[in-house]
Amino acid sequence: MIGRASAWVLAIGLLAGCAGYDGAGKVPVDARLADVERTMGVPALRWQGPDGGETLVYPFGAMGYHTFFVRGDASGRFLSRENVLTMKHFARIQAGMTQEQVIRTIGPPVPAWTVYFKARDELVWEWRYCDDWNEPARFNVLFDGSSLRVRSTLASTERSRSVFGGGDRRGWCGH
């Protein structure tokens, strides 16, 4: 089961490369979801909401800092575009959530950074984001390997993990 989940995450990541980052800021307020797809490309994921509306998911870059959720109403009108790789959204991840619930909260993780730790029977998904201080950071969701439900989460800067060496990398976040 864990192998299948990892393969699924990898497939999502490969599809995410189809979306064009340049389109992220070019969605007019009166747009329809079809217009969004023409501008931003094919979404990596999409799902219907209980109200008949639809959410399109655009993770940008193999190790990008943003994942945009584009929401539309039941008639296909564009409602909003929001980056979900933020502390506000990470705070919604709670122990006991399923993998699907996590994806519907913050989008798919970076496939190459999905790791299973046999000794702990733990599956770890990871996302890259820019923290509140514009520093490149990583957010991890730790799943129980048997139930595939969230055990806990962890957030830390890339600098504190010595990723890409030491030094200030705030310029990488582009703000």
Q: Are residues 50 and 94 in the same domain?
A: no
Q: Could you tell me if residue 41 is left (phi over 0), alpha (psi between -120 and 50 degrees) or otherwise beta?
A: left
Beta carbons within 8 Å of 139's beta carbon, 6+ residues apart: 85, 90, 106, 126, 127, 128, 129, 153, 154, 155
Is the pLDDT score of 23 beyond 60?
A: no
Q: Which residues pair with 80 in a beta bridge?
A: 71
Domain extent, residue 123, equals: 87-162
- In this structure, what CATH number is given to the domain that contains residue 106? 3.30.1450.10
Give pairs for 115-122: CB < 8 Å, separation 24+: 116/2, 116/6, 116/145, 117/145, 118/145, 120/145, 121/145, 121/146, 122/151
pLDDT 10s digits, 59-72: 986 678 899 999 99
Q: Are residues 79 and 96 in the same domain?
A: no
**Average pLDDT, integer, range 143-170:** 82
Is the pLDDT score of 99 beyond 70?
A: yes
Q: Are residues 95 and 151 in the same domain?
A: yes
Domain boundary among 83, 117, 135: 83
Q: Which stretch of 73-82, 85-94, 104-113, 152-161 has the lowest confidence by average pLDDT?
A: 152-161
pLDDT band at residue 164 using 50, 70 and 90 as cut-offs: low
Number of domains the chain contains? 2
The Cα–Cα gap between 101 and 97 comes to: 6
Q: Are residues 92 and 58 in the same domain?
A: no
Q: Are residues 72 and 91 in the same domain?
A: no
CB-based contact 165:156 (threshold 8 Å)? no
Which single residue is written with the structure tokens 């509306």?
Answer: 53
pTM of the model: 0.80
Is the pLDDT score of 26 beyond 70?
A: no
Residue 171 covered by a domain: no
Q: Could you tell me which of 133, 138, 129, 127 has the C-alpha nearest to residue 102?
A: 127
Q: Are residues 152 and 140 in the same domain?
A: yes
For residue 49, the SS3 value is: coil
Is the pLDDT score of 163 beyond 90?
A: no
